[in-house]
Structures are given as C-alpha cells and as structure tokens.
A and B are shown apart, each in its own frame.
Chain A
Amino acid sequence: MADVALDRAHDREATMAGRRHFASRVIIYALLTIFAVIYLVPLLILVFNSFREQPEIARNGLIAFPRSFQLTAWADAWSTYCIGGTCEGMRRNFMNSLWMAIPATIISTMLGAMNGYVLSKWRFRGSDVLFTLMLLGVFMPGQIALMPWAFILGKLGLTNSTYGLILVHVVQGISFTTLFCRNYYVSIPDDLIKAARIDGAGFWRIFRKIILPLSPPILIVTVIWQFTGIWNEYLFGVVFTSGREQPITAALVALTASGTNVRAYDVMSAAVLIGALPPLLVYFLGGKYFVRGLTQGAIK
C-alpha cells in the first residue's frame, strides 16, 4: 500500500514538472514568434507593397494585406522610373553597384589572402607590428578619408566613376580581408609549411598547393563580408559619384527623397527590394559563413 501511495505521489510530482516544462516551452516559442514577427514585418511590407496597386496603398495604408496585385511596379522600378530628371529606373545604378562590388571584393580578398599568408607563415622581424598597424584601418571612420580621397580621385581622374569607388573600397577593405585570412591561416599547422619546404616547394607553390586548397571556408567568409559591406556602403557612393554613376544605395536615397510628387510606394518598394536583394541572396545562401564572419571580425 505504502508503495502505491509513494508511486502516486511520485507520479503527481512528475506531471507537475512536466506541466511546468510544457508551460516554459510555450512561453519560449511565444516570445520567439513575437520577435520574429517584429523582425519580418518590414520585409513583408516591402514585398507586399511592391505587388500592390498604388491607389489601394493610399486607401488602406502601407501596413495592410494586399487586396490588389500588379507586376508593373517592378518593371517601373527597374527601367523607367524617374529620379531627378532621368527616367531609367534603378537598372543602371544596380549595374554600377555590381561592377563596383564584384571587382572590389575579388581584389581585396586576393590581397587579403596573400597578406594573411605572409603574415602568418612567412613572419619576419616586425611583421606582427605591421599587422597591428594594418588593423587600424578597420577602425578608421570614413569621414577622415573623405577629403584626401576626393583629392586623390580628382588627380587620378576617377571622380564620379565606378573605378574610383573600386579603388576606395579595395584600400579600405584590405584591413578586414587581411585580418580574416591571417587569423585563419595562423591555425594551419606550421609543420605543413616546413614539410613542404623540405619537399622542395617554394613560396608560391606552397600558397597554391597547400594554403589555397585549405582556404575555401575563410575565402567564402571574406567574400560575403566584403560583398555585402561594399554593396551596402552609402557614404563614399554619395560623396564621390552623382546621378547615373551612383551606386544603388545613393540612388535609393535620391529616389525616396524626391518627395514632392505623390509618393509611389509601390515602385519605391520594388526599388528598395532591388537594392536589398543581392546581399539578402548572399545571406540566405551563405548564412552560416556570414555569421562566422561576423563573430570572427568582431571578437578578434
């Protein structure tokens, strides 16, 4: 009898604990859902409004479920919408950003990989000091460099050109790419390099045959970091270029600032999405590496 009573008491305790556990689970998921809604709503509003008709947006407000559907806003935003007199949509600015971000990303990543290789595997007297000095670039505010860049780009005849922006972003990016690659290469055992040297491989052969094949994880991180950073950059874009030569971030500000006429939220939503799409795509495809880049870049 006593045993049965004990069992029952035990059972009751167990179910109580189970209920408490269940309740805490409900609370956890409820909180996560609330936050998720807050984080997702702005994106959803953009997506919805880019497909809604403008009169319906005006009638029901920006935050509403779509009750109309159109695709013309995307077409307008891409190729015909007018920003300050020119009516070419975002296409040209989108291409500007692409032709700025891709070369700048590739060049700065390559330089970073080679710098990182030298600074981790071919150290020389003072190389650690040089590395520390290069790191300072990570913290420089862009405002400090505005005047000097304006002067240099002027001298080189690169004002108001994508090439000028490529140069700016490469120089600014070297610090980051070198930091990423160097910290990754440090974790590759030095014995591998020694073994390769005894095997008769030189500086470049070791880089090509041993370091580069081990590099994809860090190169992906670096490329993602550089591409999203350069694509999303605004200050240099708005200062060193104007009109048709602007990258998409600067063009978006110009577009949404032209607030004199009735706001075409449908087209603007589509335009904003066009500007957000490439980095979002990169993020959703390479999210794991994106996060790794963040945590590495931040904590080191």
Chain B
Amino acid sequence: MSSLTIRNLRKSFGAVEVLKGINIEAQAGEFIALVGPSGCGKSTLLAMIAGLETVSEGEIRIGDRLVNSVAPKDRDIAMVFQSYALYPTMTVRENITFGMESRGVPKPQRDEAVKRVSALLQIEPLLGRKPGQLSGGQRQRVAMGRALVRDPKLFLFDEPLSNLDAKLRVDMRTEIKKLHHRVGKTTVYVTHDQVEAMTLASRIAVMHQGQVQQFDEPQTVYDRPANMFVAGFMGSPAMNFIPAEVGTDTDGKPAVSIKTAGASTTMLALHEGVSGISTRNVILGVRPEHIFRYSPELKAAKPSIAKVDAPVEMVEPTGAETIGFMRFGDLEVVGRFDPDEAPRMGETITLGIDMSHACLFDPITKKLL
C-alpha cells in the first residue's frame, strides 16, 4: 500500500511556476529523500505535503485520503524544521506536548508519551529546560521528539541537519537512520546534501527546476543517472563529462574516441551491453573513482578497463585519497587515487578508465543513452 501519493502536482506563485508536474509515490515505511540545489522546489513540495502551501494543481494523498484542502493539523503528519522551530518560551516538555494539548489529549496520556519519546531519544534530563539552554544537537533531538511523540502517518524533515557542525551531522545522520528502522514510518526528507540522501533514503527524488529528474533507489541514481544534471549533482567530486565520438575500435567492437593530450585522440572500447547508439556525438560520463593508475594486472583482472595517457596538472591529497587533475585535450578530468599510487604534478600518467561504469549522454537532450 502506498502511504504517500503525489500526482501531477503543480505550484505557481503568481506567474512563476515553481513545481511543474511532480509525481512521487512512497510505499508504507519508505524513506524518501528529496534532493536538489537550492531553488529547485524541494522545500515548497514538502510544505505542500505538510499543508503549509496551497496546491495549484494536482493531487496529494496520504494513505488513500486526498488531502489537498485539509488543514496541516488534520493531515496526521509531523515535521522537523531546519531551524528546529522550537517554541522559545516553552520548556522541552511543553514543546513536546504542545501538539497533544492543542488536540485535547488528556494529561496522563501526554505524560506517558513524553516518557516514551524522551527515553527513545535520551533527552530525559533536558525536559525542564528551555530551548535557549540547549546545544545544537540537543535542540535537534528535541525537535525530533516533538515529531515522534505524535505517532503520525508521515514524517517530514526539512534539511534537519544543515545547522549542525560537520561531525555532529554525521552522528545525527546515523541516528536518524536507526530511528527510522525502529519506528518504521514513512518519511520524506528534504536535503541539498547528496551524501545524506544516499545514506538515508530507500529512494531518492532528484529535483531540478521544479521537476523530478529521477526517482529511484540510491545506487541506481548513482550508477545510472537519468540525465547529466543528476549525474553531475550526485557524487563529489562530480562526474567527468567528456565529449566523444561513437565509432568502432580495431576489433570492430563499439567504441568512443576522445581527445587526449595535444591533438591526439584515443579510442575507448565500450562494454558489451552498449549497442545501437544512433547518434555520432555523445558525452562520456566517468566518475572520478573509475579513473586510476593503469597496470597490466588490473587490465587482466578487468578487461573493460581502457588505457589513456594524460599529463597531471594538479594534485590535492585529502588523506584517505588523493584527487588528481589531468588534462584531456582542452578539458580537465578529475580522478580519485589511492595515496600509494597517487600521480605527481607534471607527470604524464597512464590512466585506466573502467568503461563498465561509464555512462553515455545525448549532448542535446542531456539524457542517458
């Protein structure tokens, strides 16, 4: 049973259309991430699911109930805000019970619920404090507690981790994931951080310019991005896009030729699955981790590896890996290297490119071929 259905949803502010026909469906217990750059409409979409923005066109269903014109309080949802939105004049306990109080839940039941949630989130010692006396991470917990206590049909998260420092963000990310496993409620999670989306979600909706570019499982979105936008947005450093021409190699197998150092070109054999490409010009998409230092042993183990020579222009060690910048014709191509076999600046390196993971895009429609 699907617990959230969004069908052909549109939203306009005056003459500006910010959502242009969104279709998303979430199964019960799913964790959906809405990810995209700022201004892509993801927060507006979440606000519409919450009922904080009106629907211009289309449908939103929670369970089987059409909620287009239902007030936020009657949608059976809970939301965690980027700013936490804790009521500053109330204690943590009052913050958590405010919603139940608004709905006239009797006191014994409220106390019971507070006990349950504060134990779950380990915030018992904070119950008497005001939000102003809490650290960022504690506020985050309280905000989640306020959402959890309601036991709603749907959880909505609006960039809940973006106000935390880097380390805390990673910790809380893990905690949200654990919490979701334990509670098992359908969740919609808005973020601009593709790592958060990858790690948390069961399915990711990548949004851009008011449209869902791709809605699929994280690994699929990463490995087979629907278009160049998704390919460029997911993953850091971003995927390399190299203009290429389709042809055949010396064995007569399908291959692409790309410009490399100087004016020379190199043919790269495509992996077996690729066939029937009608266009001549394509964009070859290669993720940095699929570019590495070539060795015959690797080639023997993995025949799909192609060989390219390129000068190294810049090297950035990060500790766990070293990022190298190589020149391919007039392009700069980024590779992630094991520090042990990192390229040196000025060196002309022989690179191996794992073509089995390469993607081909249409240069005009930008779509995956």
Name A residues whose Cβ lies closer than 8 Å to a Cβ of B. Answer: 189, 191-192, 194-201, 205, 209-210, 213-214
A197 to B103, CA, bound (A): 11
Q: Which A residues are in CB contact (< 8 Å) with B98?
A: 196, 199, 201, 209
Range of interface residues on chain B? 20 to 34
A191 to B46, CA, bound (A): 13
From residue A7, how far is it (CB to closest CB) to chain B in Å?
48
B77 interface neighbour in A189, A191, A198, A213, Cβ under 8 Å? A198
Instruction: Name, among B51, B78, B98, B146, the residue most crowded by chain A CB atoms within 10 Å (CB to CB).
Output: B98
Q: Which residues of A contact B72 (CB under 8 A)?
A: 194, 197-198
Q: Is the CB of A197 within 8 A of B88?
A: no
Residues B86-138 near A (CB distance < 8 A):
87-90, 98-99, 102-103
Specify which chain B residues have a CB less than 8 angstroms from the CB of A213 in the assembled complex: 89-90
Q: Which residue of B lies closest to A198 (CB)?
A: B72
B82 within 8 A of A: yes
Q: Does B73 contact A (CB under 8 A)?
A: yes
Q: Write the residues of chain B forming the contact surface with A, with a CB cutoff of 8 angstroms.
A: 47, 50-52, 71-73, 77-79, 81-85, 87-90, 98-99, 102-103, 146
Q: How far is the CA of A222 from the CA of B100 in the complex (A)?
A: 34
Contact A210 B99 (CB under 8 A): no
Known interface pairs A199-B102, A200-B99, A200-B102. Does A194 touch B87 (Cβ–Cβ under 8 Å)? no
A-B residue pair count with CB separations less than 8 angstroms: 62
- B99: chain A residues within 8 A (beta carbon): 198-201
Nearest chain B CB to A201 CB, angstrom units: 5
Cross-chain contact A195 with B88 (CB below 8 angstroms): no
From residue B214, how far is it (CB to closest CB) to chain A in Å? 29
Q: Which residues of B contact A196 (CB under 8 A)?
A: 87, 98, 102
28 contacts between A and B (CB under 8 A): A191-B82, A192-B88, A194-B79, A194-B81, A194-B85, A195-B79, A195-B85, A195-B146, A196-B87, A196-B98, A197-B52, A197-B72, A198-B51, A198-B52, A198-B72, A198-B78, A198-B99, A199-B99, A201-B98, A201-B102, A205-B102, A209-B90, A209-B98, A210-B87, A210-B89, A213-B89, A213-B90, A214-B88
Shortest 4 CB-CB distances between A and B: which pairs?
A199-B99, A191-B85, A213-B89, A200-B73
Q: In the complex, A209 Cα to B84 Cα: how many Å?
A: 18
**A194 in contact with B102 (CB, 8 Å):** no
Chain B contacts for A214, CB-based, 8 A: 88-89
Interface centre among B78, B88, B103 (most CB of A within 10 A): B88
Q: Indicate if the CB atoms of A195 and B102 lie closer than 8 Å.
A: no
Distance, CA A210 to CA B77, complexed state (A)? 21
A168 to B51, CA, bound (A): 42
Across the interface, name the chain A residue whose C-beta is closest to B103.
A200
**Distance from B364 Cβ to chain A, minimum over Cβ atoms (Å):** 42
B87 touches A198 (CB 8 A): no
Told that A194-B85, A195-B81 touch, could you supply 15 new A-B pairs with CB distance under 8 A? A191-B82, A191-B83, A194-B50, A194-B52, A196-B98, A196-B102, A197-B71, A198-B50, A198-B77, A198-B79, A198-B99, A199-B102, A200-B99, A205-B102, A213-B89
What CA separation (Å) do A184 and B72 show in the bound complex? 26
Kindly report which residue of chain B lies nearest to residue A216, judged by CB atoms: B89
With a CB–CB cut-off of 8 A, which chain B residues contact A205? 102
Q: With A194-B50, A196-B98, A214-B89 in contact, is A201–B73 under 8 Å at CB?
A: yes
Which B residues are CB-close (under 8 A) to A199?
A: 73, 98-99, 102, 146
Q: Determine the distance from Cα of A189 to Cα of B50 in the docked complex, in whole angstroms.
A: 17
Cα(A100)–Cα(B81), bound, Å: 46
Q: What CA separation (Å) do A201 and B87 show in the bound complex? A: 13
| A217 to B: closest C-beta gap in Å | 12
Chain A min CB distance to B336 (Å): 38
Roughly how many angstroms separate A210 CA and B81 CA in the complex, as a whole number? 17
Q: What are the residues of chain B within 8 A of A201 when measuring CB–CB?
A: 73, 98-99, 102
Q: Give the shortest distance, in Å, between A171 (CB) and chain B (any CB).
A: 32
